[in-house]
Amino acid sequence: MYDNWEELEAEAKKCRKCKLWQTRTNVVFGVGNKNADLMFIGEGPGADEDMQGEPFVGKAGKLMNMAFETLGIKREEVYIANIVKCRPPSNRNPEEDEATACLDYLRNQVILVKPKIIVLLGSVALKNILGKEYGITASRGKWIEKKGILYMPTWHPAALLRDETKKIDFIKDLKLVVEGMKTLNNKN
């Protein structure tokens, strides 16, 4: 556990705790407002993210940015990170040992950001953060509260590229998030 960003990021940048270090170009640590009330958690870097060292800059990220624009969410005002920080080869899902090794960083990021709401993008994020018993089809679009944080599971933006109908759900779920943020801000 680090209580400052510099040490945490430096540690992650040189990390070799799982085998994914061998094939990465860049460690994709996370991006955005380090004091954000709203955080997004994806699965792991793809080819574009691995090249650029920033999460969600490829096709899925562009789609997410478009949804952000539609809903008035500013990318620079939220914090965005992934379950694993190095790219799984050929975009396979992270394996259990990889996610387990990497999750310490993400937990530390959540502790430092102190978000009120976390959007879980897809099944890998959902299962690793809230537990294997959760399924994305049944859980998406519904609030789950745990230890003072509100979680909203939704489809991974890459899933929207494969199935257009999921875009409607995605926007609907993020609308709930925007409304949730407003309600929380009115309370304080």
Binding site for ligand URA (CB under 6 A): 42-46, 49, 55-56, 58, 60-61, 82, 158
Q: To the nearest whole angstrom, how small is the minimum distance from the Cβ of residue 113 to ligand SF4?
A: 18
Binders of ligand SF4 among 102-131, rule CB under 6 A? 102
Q: To the nearest whole angstrom, how small is the minimum distance from the Cβ of residue 180 to ligand SF4?
A: 30
Residues 6+ away with beta carbon under 8 Å from 71: 171, 174, 175, 178
CA distance 167 to 170: 5
Reduced to 3 states (helix: H, G, I; strand: E, B; else coil), residue 38 is strand
Q: Does 15 bind ligand SF4 (CB under 6 A)?
A: yes
Q: Does 27 bind ligand SF4 (CB under 6 A)?
A: yes
Bridge partners of 82, per DSSP, are 42
Q: Which does 98 bind (CB under 5 to 8 A by kind): ligand URA, ligand SF4, none?
A: ligand SF4
CA distance 178 to 188: 16
Q: Does 12 bind ligand SF4 (CB under 6 A)?
A: yes
